[in-house]
Each structure stands twice: as structure tokens, then as C-alpha cells.
Chains A and B, each alone.
Chain A
Amino acid sequence: NAGVMQNPRHLVRRRGQEARLRCSPMKGHSHVYWYRQLPEEGLKFMVYLQKENIIDESGMPKERFSAEFPKEGPSILRIQQVVRGDSAAYFCASSPPGLGEAFFGQGTRLTVV
């Protein structure tokens, strides 16, 4: 059973471009969470999704950021028109229903130049 898979591991984008971060949860896990770790700061919640539904997006910036978890395929975190302040490590975690155990991916390190 493969762990939570995130890709790419490293992503470099120029200001104004789009960034797409992918997360494939562990097999059997229907809950996906995205967290952001800014340089020298702690982890912050962004969004919680189940298949085809956004459950809690209270941590998502109001503009440029969106997330989805389609019926088929990985969860996608999309950042439009990236700015330097978006440079961070983005972590995905998945959990099975009801248990609350958290399994994290290796993260995607986004650098905006």
C-alpha cells in the first residue's frame, strides 16, 4: 500500500504563472487535507476535501487558490497567477473515514521567481 503521493516534489514558477500540485491519497482514504508551510513558519490548514466535495475551505486565500478532489484521479491544489509570497512547502495528508489518523505526503516545494 503506497503512501500519500505528491507530485511534483519541487516546482519552480515565474510570477504570474499557474501552479498545479497533485496529491494521491492512500488506498481506501476518502479524506484529503492540504496544508501550507511558509518559510520559518508553522503548518497552516488550507482545505479539507472528500470525493467531489469541499468540506472546509476556511484556510484558503480568497483569491487565486482553488482545490478539487474528483471522483477519479488525484486531488489538485491550483494556484493561479503566482506571487513570490506563494513560495512555500505544500503538504497533503489523507485519512480513512472516522479514524482521524493522518498520513502525510512528502510535500511539494513551490518556488516563485
Chain B
Amino acid sequence: KNEVEQSPQNLTAQEGEFITINCSYSVGISALHWLQQHPGGGIVSLFMLSSGKKKHGRLIATINIQEKHSSLHITASHPRDSAVYICAVRSGANSKLTFGKGITLSVRP
């Protein structure tokens, strides 16, 4: 079993829909990261969370430390949100990241 599991594996949505991507982890962590990668592109850090909830524009990230679970929500989805969304955890302040396999999101116009 991977230390970081993401679901669903692939996701297709219509423009304007509310989207939720989930991440579960099995190890103790100091922080959880949500990352975005466009095809053939670089990796952009969306959020770093250690507790509670963060919001940036149409993106919201939440984490439940007791349940070892995090969600990334996208409101009013747009085709430009089509990308791979990767959950990653860190066990210490400057330790390595352990990644989930990523979710491929496709938003249709």
C-alpha cells in the first residue's frame, strides 16, 4: 500500500462544476502539499497545509490530521484547470516529499 493515496484516478467534469479531489496518507506528517502539473510542464505548488483550511482564488484545500485525509476543491471549474493534481506529504520541516500518483483532471467546455 502506498503511503499517499489519491482518488479518483481520473476525473472529467463540465465547465462550471464543483470538483473535489481526495488524498489519504498513512504516515505521520508535518505538512501536506497540493501540487499542479500541466502536460509536459513544470510543477506548481498550490498549497502547503499543516492544519485546517486554506483558500486561494477558486481553490480550497482542507486537511483533517486525525483522519489523515485532505481534499482539494475547485469551484466554478474552467478548462484551464485541466491538469494533474498531486498530493505530497512531508514528515519533517525540511525532509523529502512523498507523492501520490496524481489525479488527471479534464474540464470540458
Contact = CB atoms under 8 A, between A and B. Distances in A.
Interface residues of A, number: 26
Interface string A67-103: 0000000000000000000000001010101111111
Given A42-B86, A43-B86, A102-B33, A107 B43 contact: yes
Interface residue range, chain B: 20 to 34
Given A98-B93, A100-B93, A45 B98 contact: yes
Contact of B94 (A31, A35, A43, A109): A31
Contacts of B96: 33, 45, 48, 56, 59
Interface string B22-66: 000000001101010000111111001000000000000000000
A35 B97 contact: yes
B69 interface: no
Contacts of A103: 45
A45 B41 contact: no
Nearest to A3: B42
A103 B41 CA distance: 14
A44 interface: yes
Contact of B99 (A43, A97, A98, A100): A43
